[in-house]
Chain A
């Protein structure tokens, strides 16, 4: 049936996949549409209400309590928040570290995966193999990958310092130094750009060929083509990867837990690890919940900024501004 519909649509000459048209919805079916929609979304809505709402609500509640997990929670009002902002210097450290990491890892990840996707968008022998290669790192279990990275970044005999040493450059102490530990984590994050690259690749292949041809006729060189055709049409994809990348960067945890445990000197004390420590090591789940809420608000604000700003820089082929 899909074939019939598609061919009939094609007959009407509307081939471009991204062109949206206005149409009127018959008003008498809006109730039906509402019901249908709720039915379609029912599993997820049930999930939200039954399995997600309670834990989130509980977390909000705990944030106003002192809760060791082993004993019942004890109401303390805004004490946790007060401690966090006024009394706890490590809170600011954790926040700073996480922002530092996100500020570098997210744009770097986006740029490199975009660059990779551009490269992978060519017709070159073996391109299928290359495309697979970049996704493989995401398959390796985090435990094994983290260990491997600890080796690669080893100050004495790690791979990176080995190469740097051969060319006579400075060999940074990476994870043993408080100044180089965050850059070490940023480098590690780049290894996980496989999925992002794939998504960019999809977005690239979605750009109609005729736009490039038109640009070439106008005498554009490759760089101009990139700037005027590729990037504008890629902005929706960039948007998606940016939002998701941001959300993930702020929640980095497993690698910290396995490799550095926040050291040295708290230079890699990232927020969710700090939170987890309070919840499961220091028996302060109440404080951890408060930390979680603050993080949520921060991520929410940042994501909203990105979303609101998206009106300015994200280009949708068919919609009016």
Chain B
């Protein structure tokens, strides 16, 4: 009997378990509610308070002293080194602001940044995804730049393409300056086109033409597998399909998701058409690779898919991995009756909330947004966001007439490209949209059902996010 409490594997009676439960809860809650402060307590209205903070710092910042600022970047590998070169150029060019760069790998920068902001230890300056900027801005995670901008004569917001600058503005304030960007266009494999008797110099401009070409280009069928696919609509982003059909996803003024419209449904019908005709699962099988786009494994670069929608950043990959592949780039084909559309995404320069030295950081920010990007594009083969820089041609691409022509197609798209819907629940929305697309591909829902579900779920999230923010 007293053996029960002896050493040996402990027996935990029900009472002890209950005690344990309660104990854990009590100890924790007690510790949590007393003592150490809860993060970010000192901001009633983040935006207004920060402006005050900024004004204070501006008055206090002494002139003539070297300001050391920290810059966190998500570029790594050789792109990280290009960034480092730019930073070094800046440091050498003047002595007021010295920048120290830290690489935090893509995907993890967000976690590191969020944690640091919440504890009040963010970097002075960072570059984040341009579409992420709004989510940070709405929640007060990055500082509005309007005061800095008006004090800096070099900056004129009209110099940036509308698609780039409007994406980082919210309720009349500008929260970032765009850095690099990228756009989507359509690619075709000229050799395959010629093989089936199509003319690569007159690529299909409307969906019906694409369908006809795809049929000719496809080898194989759903049952025995494919040797080659002509085209499938979901090899890139889902939202561009809606725009190409003439639809809109988001009514910014009324803050309503507008997924269930005839145009968007038509776009999803197009997806369904391919899923039905060629077999959704069969296509998934055929196109699933390990590396994905822009690796040596890319289906287009291997000649397994004849028509593809690709971003401008894919060009350097193409010339590196498949230099001999003859190809044509042209604006994305749209549904009959609609017009040119594309998406422009990119990164943006921001000052995180709690940036220790926003004054100095903004000087660097100005440099990056105007001069740094001009140095970046030639090395990294990204696109620009400023109207006066579209002539810059990347060294990473061959200096041929053809490459220049393709680059121009992308840059011309900046005039009509859109940015992602600007909503505080953007990531949630993207996931819902992709799930809706998948359910249509796998034949589980009708286009209208899938879109309705995505719309309802996101609208609910959006409403609650807007209500609390």
B123 to chain A, nearest CB (A): 15
CA distance A209 to B8 in the complex (A): 22
* B35–A54 CB distance below 8 A: yes
Decide if A283 is an interface residue (CB 8 Å cutoff).
yes
Instruction: Beyond the given A61-B38, A154-B289, A262-B431, please list 20 additional residue pairs across the A-B interface where CB-CB is below 8 A.
Output: A56-B28, A56-B32, A57-B29, A59-B32, A61-B33, A69-B117, A70-B118, A70-B141, A71-B40, A71-B469, A265-B435, A265-B438, A266-B435, A281-B110, A282-B461, A304-B12, A311-B11, A316-B8, A316-B9, A319-B8
- Across the interface, B25 reaches (CB within 8 A) one of A60, A74, A87, A316, namely A60
Instruction: Return the contact of B110 from the options A263, A280, A319 (Cβ within 8 A).
Output: A280
Closest to A319 in B: B8
**Taking the complex as formed, is B425 at the interface, i.e. its CB lies under 8 A from any CB of chain A?**
yes
What chain B residues lie within 8 Å of A262 (beta carbons)? 431
Q: Which of B205-213, B267-275, B279-287, B402-410 contacts A (4 or more CB under 8 A)?
A: B279-287
- A12 at the A/B interface (Cβ < 8 Å)? no
Task: Report yes or no: B25 in contact with A173, Cβ–Cβ below 8 A.
Answer: no
Q: Which stretch (B132-140, B241-249, B381-389) binds chain A? A: B132-140
Provide the residues of chain A in CB contact with B115, threshold 8 Å.
69
CB of A22 within 8 Å of the partner chain: yes
In the complex, chain A residues 214-270 whose Cβ is within 8 Å of any chain B Cβ? 236, 262-266
A151 pairs with B290, CB closer than 8 A: yes
Interface centre among B30, B39, B43 (most CB of A within 10 A): B39
Q: How far is the CA of A85 from the CA of B469 in the complex (A)?
A: 24
When the two chains form the complex, which single residue of B7, B30, B41, B353 contacts A20, counting CB atoms closer than 8 Å? B7
Distance in angstroms between the alpha carbons of A151 and B295 in the assembled complex: 14
Is A150 among interface residues, defined by CB-CB distance under 8 A? yes
On whether the beta carbons of A72 and B40 are closer than 8 Å, the reply is: yes
Q: Is the interface of B mostly helix, strand, loop or mixed?
A: helix
- Of residues 334 through 352 on chain B, the ones whose CB sits less than 8 Å from some CB of chain A are none
B141 touching A53, Cβ below 8 Å? no
Given A266-B435, A316-B9, A70:B281 Cβ within 8 A: no
Interface pair A265/B444, CB less than 8 Å apart: yes
* Number of cross-chain contacts by CB at 8 Å: 140
Known pairs A70-B140, A177-B281; A265 contacts B32 (CB<8 A)? no
Chain A interface residues (CB < 8 Å from chain B): 20, 22, 49, 53-54, 56-61, 66, 68-74, 87, 147, 150-151, 154-156, 173, 175-178, 236, 262-266, 280-283, 300, 304, 307-308, 310-311, 314, 316, 318-320
How far does the alpha carbon of A266 sit from the alpha carbon of B439 in the complex, in Å? 10
Assuming the A-B contacts A280-B114, A282-B428, are A156 and B285 also in contact, with contact meaning beta carbons closer than 8 angstroms in the complex?
yes
Interface size class of B (residues with CB under 8 A): 35 or more
Contacts of B33 in A (CB 8 A): 57, 61
Give 30 pairs: A residue, B residue, CB < 8 Å, sorted on A. A49-B27, A49-B31, A53-B30, A53-B31, A56-B32, A60-B29, A68-B469, A69-B115, A69-B117, A70-B46, A70-B140, A70-B353, A71-B40, A71-B43, A72-B39, A73-B38, A151-B290, A155-B285, A156-B285, A173-B281, A176-B281, A177-B284, A263-B438, A265-B435, A265-B444, A282-B461, A304-B12, A308-B14, A308-B17, A311-B11
Cross-chain contact A53 with B442 (CB below 8 angstroms) = no
Q: B6: CB under 8 A from chain A?
A: yes
B38 touches A72 (CB 8 A): yes
B151: Cβ under 8 A from any A Cβ:
no
**What chain B residues lie within 8 Å of A300 (beta carbons)?**
21
Give the CA-CA distance A316 to B30 in the complex, in Å: 39
Give the distance in Å from the alpha carbon of A311 to the alpha carbon of B4 in the complex.
12
Q: What residues on A are CB-neighbors of B286 within 8 Å?
A: 156
> When the two chains form the complex, which single residue of B41, B139, B438 contacts A264, counting CB atoms closer than 8 Å?
B438
CA distance A87 to B28 in the complex (A): 28
Whole-angstrom distance between the Cβ of B451 and the nearest chain A Cβ: 15
Partner of A22, one of B6, B24, B35: B6
B442 and A264 form a contact (CB under 8 A): yes
A307 partner residues in chain B, CB cutoff 8 A? 12
Q: Mark B106-118, 1 if CB is under 8 A from A, else 0.
A: 0000110011011
Q: Is B324 an interface residue (CB 8 A)?
A: no
Contacts of B9 on A, CB cut-off 8 Å? Answer: 236, 310, 314, 316, 319
Is B6 a contact partner of A53 (Cβ separation < 8 A)?
A: no
What's the least CB distance linking B421 to chain A, in Å? 16
Separation of A154 and B136 alpha carbons in the complex (Å): 37
Tell me whether B140 and A71 are in contact (CB under 8 A). Answer: yes
Q: Given A150-B290, A177-B281, A264-B438, A57 and B111 touching (CB < 8 A)?
A: no
